[in-house]
Amino acid sequence: MSRSVPGSASEDAEHTAYARVRAGQVKAVQAALEDHMGRLDWSREQIERYRIERLRALLAHARERSPFHARRLRGLDPSSASLTDLASLPMMTKQDAQDEWDSIVTVRNLDRERAERILAEQQWFSYTPGDEQIFSSGGSSGVRGVYVWDWQFYVSAACLAWRVQAREERRASSVPSCARLAVLAAGVPPHASTPLFDVPTAPGMETVVIPAGAPFDEVVAAVAAARPTHLVGYATVIGRLARAAVAGDLDISPVRVSTNSEPLLDEDRQAIRDAWSAPIHNLWGSTEIGVQAVGCGYGEGLHVCEDEVVLERVDEGGAPVAADAPAARTLATGLANRTFPFIRYDLGDQVMLLPGRCACGSAFVRVADIGGRRDDDFRYGTTTVPASTFRYVLGADPRVSEYQVRQTADGAEIFAVGDPDVAALTSAVTAALRRQGLSDPQVRIEVVDQLQRHQASGKLQRFIALR
């Protein structure tokens, strides 16, 4: 059962109509979770066998139904294609996805114009007559995109997002009798985060959606009123809630915490541990692919959802690199989305593979926690300043609860929430930039009550490069 803030009469009517269809879809997720939880114990042989069959089926479908992919897949036989054969295909970019929308989508009665009309007219989340959902997101890049999720793709994505946590609920010696999940997400259309994470993972669990982009004091009050036993939401919001709990401003005791949609920085992870000592399941996903990897709560990093996604670490030209070599970009092929296929799609994230077996025993490959996108880094002429330069200084200051960095021509403008020593912090950031090669960096820090989040999604774009 899910609760959210009521709206106008017409919006409530649309919400009710949506809820009827969604109830069936959530039931489908809960039924499919049994199969997905079983996959977590698969051997490498089982993973590889299932993945290659899924890949061949996707390639055959995309070549048959999508003119865009038919051109890209010319010369490749889907019936015998291997994972290594993917490297012969050109990369697919976000610009390709938006410019070639009508030639990518495989549903005959859906085009970009109709998708935009659905987004413009819907007062709440809605389904097309074919049970597709249309989402729009600027994501971490800040560039708007329009995406389609069909029924089965949603079921797959929701199972990937929740199967690890659902299994842990089954294994737990005691599950709260009145489980309540607080969902800190966009809360409103057109972002996919709310439908994806507003899913009960235990029998009788109630969920409540709390818009992450609301003023923080309202978020704290709503979370306190919900009295959640479980938390899921944007990493920066959960991190700030944890610091509020440590400070005595929020009295809740979640038994499980799930973070998503933004990099989970070390300072936020530590704050969550300090506040609640609860297992943390971090998730790396995208509106395009769904869910790429999820943390198990036991070992380091995130387990790649290899049964539903193929990840390729490549150089600037798109050629695969060795497992222990640095990669310029990460390409993803989503195996579940037949309506709008993404094949060798440039995610914009940089990932590192982790060696060895995880403490949880899973055979699924792991990647290190996603620290950010390659386009988070700032470029000043020929000098590149990694985003980590700012993170190491700002994230280590206990008097800064949240921050946003905007690049300027010769330095940075920083907005900080909290009560920092501005002079000392300015000096520390300036020194860090000098060590990166800026001879005379100009740094300005302003203390603010709250940071500007993306209006539609509620996500925080922490690093904003100078365009």
For helices 216-226 and 235-246, give the axis angle rounded to 10 degrees.
Answer: 80
Q: Can you spell out the DSSP letters for 29-88?
A: HHHHHHHHHHHTT--HHHHHHHHHHHHHHHHHHHHHH-HHHHHHTTT--GGG--TGGGGG
Average pLDDT for the chain: 89
Q: Cite the beta strand spans of 139-269 per DSSP E.
A: 145-149, 180-185, 206-211, 230-234, 256-260
Residues whose CB falls within 8 Å of the CB of residue 425, separated by 6 or more in sequence, listed in order: 393, 394, 397, 400, 416, 445
Average pLDDT over residues 345-355: 89
Residue 113 and residue 223 in one domain: yes
Q: Is the dihedral of CA 122, 126, 129, 133 positive or negative?
A: positive
Average pLDDT over residues 366-381: 76
- Please identify, among 324, 350, 369, the residue that sits at the C-terminal boundary of a domain: 369
> Which range is least confidently modeled, 138-142, 158-162, 284-288?
138-142
The CATH number assigned to the domain holding 359 equals 3.40.50.12780
Each residue's pLDDT tens digit, 38-60:
999 999 999 999 999 999 999 99
Rounded to whole angstroms, how far apart are CA atoms 66 and 337? 13
Residue 362 and residue 396 in one domain: no
Range of the domain at 406: 377-464
Residue 91 and residue 240 in one domain: yes
Rounded to whole angstroms, how far apart are CA atoms 253 and 212? 19
Report whether 337 contacts 424 (CB < 8 A): no
Rounded to whole angstroms, how far apart are CA atoms 448 and 402? 10
Rounded to whole angstroms, how far apart are CA atoms 6 and 39? 39
What is the H or E stretch that residue 20 is in? helix 9-39
pLDDT at 187: 81
Give phi and psi for 460, each to the nearest 5. -100, 120
Residue 257 and residue 404 in one domain: no
Q: Cite the beta strand spans of 275-352 per DSSP E.
A: 280-286, 290-294, 302-304, 309-314, 329-334, 345-346
Instruction: With CA atoms as reference, report the closest residue to 435 among 397, 372, 394, 386.
Output: 386
Q: pLDDT exceeding 90 applies to what percent of the chain? A: 62
Residue 3 has pLDDT above 60, yes or no: no
Residues whose CB falls within 8 Å of the CB of residue 207, separated by 6 or more in sequence, listed in order: 1, 2, 3, 180, 181, 182, 183, 198, 199, 200
Rounded to whole angstroms, how far apart are CA atoms 400 and 419? 6
Instruction: With CA atoms as reference, report the closest residue to 190 among 236, 122, 110.
Output: 122
Rounded to whole angstroms, how far apart are CA atoms 126 and 129? 10
The CATH number assigned to the domain holding 390 equals 3.30.300.30
Average pLDDT over residues 99-116: 94
Residue 447 has pLDDT above 70, yes or no: yes
Domain total of the chain: 2
- Please identify, among 322, 338, 369, the residue that sits at the C-terminal boundary of a domain: 369
Q: Is the dihedral of CA 34, 308, 136, 223 positive or negative?
A: positive
> Which range is least confidently modeled, 104-108, 206-210, 423-427, 460-464?
460-464
Indicate the DSSP class of residue 280: E
Average pLDDT over residues 200-210: 90
Each residue's pLDDT tens digit, 151-200:
999 999 999 999 999 998 888 766 677 899 999 988 888 888 899 999 99
Residue 217 has pLDDT above 70, yes or no: yes
Each residue's pLDDT tens digit, 377-388:
788 998 878 776
Residue 432 and residue 322 in one domain: no
Residue 354 and residue 403 in one domain: no
DSSP-derived 3-state class of residue 440: coil
pLDDT at 328: 85
Residue 333 and residue 390 in one domain: no
Residue 301 and residue 442 in one domain: no
- Please identify, among 324, 351, 369, the residue that sits at the C-terminal boundary of a domain: 369
pLDDT at 123: 85
pTM for the full predicted model: 0.81
Residue 279 and residue 397 in one domain: no
Residue 232 and residue 328 in one domain: yes
Indicate the DSSP class of residue 413: E
Residue 344 and residue 381 in one domain: no
DSSP-derived 3-state class of residue 311: strand
Residue 274 and residue 413 in one domain: no
